[in-house]
Chains A and B, each alone.
Chain A
Amino acid sequence: MCYWSSLAISWGLIIAILLWVILSLVGYFQGDSILLGMSRAKKIKPDDHPRLYNVVEEIKIASGLEKMPDIYIIDDPALNAFATGRDPNRASVAITSGLLQKLNRDELQGVIGHELAHIKNRDVLLMAMCSVLLGTIVILAWYGSRMALFGAMFGGRRSSSRGGGGGNIIILVVALAFMILAPIFAQLIYLAISRKREYLADASSALYTRYPEGLASALEKLASSTSQLKSANQATAPMYIINPFRKKGLKASDLTSTHPPISERIRILRAMAGASFYNYDQAYRQMHGGKGVIPATSLAAETVPIATARLEAEAGEPNELQRARETSDAMWRLSNYNTITCDCGAKLRVPPNFKEPQIKCPHCGRIHQI
């Protein structure tokens, strides 16, 4: 009888681990399409939003990615962006329309640099592997401590009649503590890794653009917004540029977040003396002391000069109103609306199911052919 029950438990263990691995694999292979589908992201062509497409292509060149990632816009006033895709050849970046109209070119480069760094550093793969490994450890720990618990409880009665129950109580307590603590620690490790990768992506973005101030100022704009992204969920949180679930007034070193606090990320970026990984590491150490945050293998003690702000780019830079128009034009086009600009200055949005051959401008009464 004892034989049968232990057999049943080990089958349960195998099934649990198998299920976990299958779930993680589905998340890994289908995660991008699930994520993009859930957030109702719309894929854009170069003509839909030339500025966004160009900026992604610029950073793609700067990062040395071989293939151009797909670009998506999420129609949401919240400010956020994410990258997804299981390898650099099948990657996508998505940005909310709210963020797109808030950022100027340098800031957009910083944000896209952060996202492409996630792709280049293969963070999707890393976080998927982490969740498989840590999840398996949690299942094993739970199973192991349950065995110990049962052993202590049922085996204990027999041996305590012989007068030796003290050891069993200790095993019982240790097993119980293990069962409770293992998942918590696994979660904390997962979050710590996620935060490390965020720092690395920030450092990479500064290196690609040679202009840490761009990302810093973009993060500042992100920090000042309070609206939450409707379509985000816990599992996909590490891929966003800022934690989509953050609350106001979070403590400076929060162990239970996928992302480091924004204010700290901004301070590190602004403290950089150059644009290299080494400079980022130095800036991080200034703030925290002790160990740095960049993997030692990619650290060479060199300083890369920061680019000066480009004056001629600023001259032709669209302002916030123009960017808002540009983005809303793109969103209408992506919903298959036809846009006619009337001579009086009004823009007519013609829905895709509009069948009439001509349309009258509601503002001045002119007739337009479609």
Chain B
Amino acid sequence: MQFGDTVTLVNRTSKSVLGVQWDGVHYHFPPGEHPNIPIQIAIAALKQHPLMGSEDPLGDPGIFRSLFGIRGASDPFGDITPLEQTDADERIDRSKVMGVGGDKKQVRKINAGGPTHFDARMGTETVNLQDDAVTRR
């Protein structure tokens, strides 16, 4: 591949518009084929949409199954057959984790919750509820 090369990128899912970010720019790819995509963006798409639970925790971090495929690329990224996201909670395949971390009986899933609006705001500055009420009226 040379600089400036383009490829046909395939969103393998049936329904999901998948977002990809490269060099700060956001791209969105609906299901199906997308010709003439710069190779750098296509590779970013592959990396940013792994099939959850498909990465071997002891294997090459660059090898995993992806919701994107590149037509004509070598395996595993040349696979453009239909594929849907799993319900796995993590990128790595936990069944391949060695030791107690791979034992379903000894691993528990806990949800610590996500960030709140208070978390996200910087410092002590509050919002103006009156303004908000006016806006929403």
Q: Do the two chains belong together in a single complex?
A: no
**B residues touching A (Cβ–Cβ < 8 Å)?**
none
**A residues touching B (Cβ–Cβ < 8 Å)?**
none
